[in-house]
Structure 1
């Protein structure tokens, strides 16, 4: 059994990894093990987890995880939306579609970490984009909410293209029509209801990353 360590941004992604991705990859003889970003250490000797305000804690955590020489790969599941300004490649993103832009940032991220066992993944534009894959299958959403959100989905080729503006990012759109939405609780549940195969079919950047993980089994 090969181990893959994955640095995740928050408890939503951690739950998604444990309940959706890990069982799938287990069938490929891969043990996917999530680790939350440690944002800072406190005076009591503990540490705070989740959320990214600066790049340095991400890099420090990845260095620690890469120190585990028994891990086949170290990867990430971080939101592209809301990355801190000092994140590698963010300031030099090229013009073009969101796929070219995120791939540029991932490449610069990989070069900055500089380790052959590191495989970066940034979710376009954030975890909630996955839920736009099949909104009617998400039991949380009312018919009225689905009708509003579906308009955003229908305007693009892929849920991953739903943008990163402050008021129109995927999670912001959901909260605007469903204020009771709780990311950690409802997000992974909705993703499970949609199903991994549907998510992969609709979200090519997500699918490419998962395919690269599956290939580690060979």
Structure 2
């Protein structure tokens, strides 16, 4: 089995990884590990998790994961919207281009800065929570809630 590490932006992404992606990836032969970005370490208590506070914090967590030689692939599940301005590629992204090209440019810049072939940047163009609203009908079918199916 190959080891895949998913670094989630927040609780919503973590739930999607846990309930949707992980079972599928495990069937495909991956051992999945995951965590939520630490947004603020606290003295004497648990660290606060979820959300993107700074590129330095994201970079530090990615590099910490890649210190583990058993990780074959590491990736992120982070929303493009709201990325800190100092994130690699943000100031150079092609603003006149379509949003997908902008996301791709930032992902490539992040991968270049990290510089580890095991790392594949993944930014979600639209906030993950938007996916739920956009697919309320199928979500209602999935969870058995007729009020969502319309």
Matches within 5 A, 1:41-120: 41-44=41-44, 46-94=46-94, 95-120=96-121
1:141 shift after superposition: 8.3
1:41 shift after superposition: 1.7
Structure with a larger share of its residues in helix: 1
Residue 131 of structure 1 corresponds to which residue in structure 2?
132
Task: Return the alpha-carbon distance in structure 1 between the equivalents of residues 14 and 136 of structure 2.
Answer: 22
1:126 shift after superposition: 1.3
Extract unaligned runs of 5+ from structure 2. Answer: none
Task: Return the alpha-carbon distance in structure 2 between the equivalents of residues 7 and 45 of structure 1.
Answer: 22
Task: Return the alpha-carbon distance in structure 1 between the equivalents of residues 65 and 43 of structure 2.
Answer: 23
Aligned residues: 145
Structure with a larger share of its residues in strand: 2
Task: Return the alpha-carbon distance in structure 2 between the equivalents of residues 128 and 41 of structure 1.
Answer: 25
1:142 shift after superposition: 4.7
- The alignment's TM-score, normalised by the length of structure 2, stands at 0.87
Task: Return the alpha-carbon distance in structure 1 between the equivalents of residues 41 and 132 of structure 2.
Answer: 33
1:15-51 CA distance string (max 9 Å, x none): 1101100000111110221111112222216422111
> Is the 1:135–1:141 contact (alpha carbons within 8 Å) kept by the matching residues of 2?
no
1:87 shift after superposition: 1.1
1:133 shift after superposition: 5.4
> Is the 1:39–1:49 contact (alpha carbons within 8 Å) kept by the matching residues of 2?
yes
1:185-209 CA distance string (max 9 Å, x none): xxxxxxxxxxxxxxxxxxxxxxxxx
Task: Return the alpha-carbon distance in structure 2 between the equivalents of residues 122 and 141 of structure 1.
Answer: 32
Q: Secondary structure at the match of 2:3?
A: strand
> Is the 2:12–2:129 contact (alpha carbons within 8 Å) kept by the matching residues of 1?
no
Task: Return the alpha-carbon distance in structure 2 between the equivalents of residues 27 and 133 of structure 1.
Answer: 27
1:58-81 CA distance string (max 9 Å, x none): 011011100011111110000011
1:40 correspondence with 2:34: no
Task: Return the alpha-carbon distance in structure 2 between the equivalents of residues 64 and 46 of structure 1.
Answer: 18
Residue 161 of structure 1 corresponds to which residue in structure 2?
none
- The alignment's TM-score, normalised by the length of structure 1, stands at 0.62
Extract unaligned runs of 5+ from structure 1. Answer: 147-218
Task: Return the alpha-carbon distance in structure 2 between the equivalents of residues 69 and 76 of structure 1.
Answer: 18
